[in-house]
Amino acid sequence: MIIVLKNKASKDSIDRFVNDMTLKGLNVHLSEGSEHTIIGLIGDTTAINADDLQSIEIVESVKRISEPFKQANRKMHPDDSLIKAGNITVGEGFFNVIAGPCSVESEEQIIEIAGDVKKSGASMLRGGAFKPRTSPYAFQGLHDEGIKLLIKAKKATGLPIVTEIMNLNHIDLFTDVDLIQVGARNMQNFDLLKELGKCDKPVLLKRGLANTIEEWLMSAEYIMAGGNHNIILCERGIRTFETMTRNTLDISAVPVLKSKTHLPVIIDPSHATGNSAMVAPLSKASVAAGADGLMIEVHNNPSKALCDGAQSLNPAQFESLMGEIKKRAEFENKII
Q: In the complex, which residues of this chain contact Mn ion (CB under 5 A)?
A: 102, 308
| Alpha carbon 293 to chain centroid, angstroms | 10
DSSP result, 230-258: -EEEEE--B--S--SSSSB--TTHHHHHH
Report the alpha-carbon angle 87-91-93, nearest 5. 100
Q: Does 258 bind ligand PEP (CB under 6 A)?
A: no
User: Exactly one of 75, 154, 206, 260 binds ligand PEP (CB under 6 A); which one?
Assistant: 206
Q: Which stretch binds ligand PEP (CB under 6 A): 139-147, 170-178, 181-189, 316-324?
A: 181-189
Nearer to ligand PEP, 105 or 268 (CB): 268
Nearer to ligand PEP, 102 or 153 (CB): 102
Q: Does 184 bind ligand PEP (CB under 6 A)?
A: yes
Q: Which listed option, ligand PEP, Mn ion, none, makes contact with residue 184 (CB within 5 to 8 Å by class)?
A: ligand PEP
Residue nearest to ligand PEP (CB): 183
**CB 269 within 8 Å of CB 234:** no
Q: Does 271 bind ligand PEP (CB under 6 A)?
A: yes
| Alpha carbon 38 to chain centroid, angstroms | 24
Q: Does 128 bind ligand PEP (CB under 6 A)?
A: yes
CA distance 261 to 219: 13
**CB 243 within 8 Å of CB 287:** no
DSSP result, 4-37: EEPTT--HHHHHHHHHHHHHTT-EEEEEE-SS-E
Nearer to Mn ion, 4 or 102 (CB): 102
Nearer to Mn ion, 105 or 308 (CB): 308
User: Exactly one of 93, 132, 281, 323 binds ligand PEP (CB under 6 A); which one?
Assistant: 132
CA distance 151 to 175: 10
Q: Which stretch binds ligand PEP (CB under 6 A): 8-16, 141-149, 183-191, 254-262?
A: 183-191
Q: Is 19 exposed, middle or buried (0-12, 13-18, 19+ CB in 10 A)?
A: exposed
Q: How many residues contact ligand PEP, by CB under 6 A?
A: 11
| Residues found near ligand PEP in the complex (CB under 6 A) | 102, 128, 132, 164, 183-185, 206, 236, 268, 271
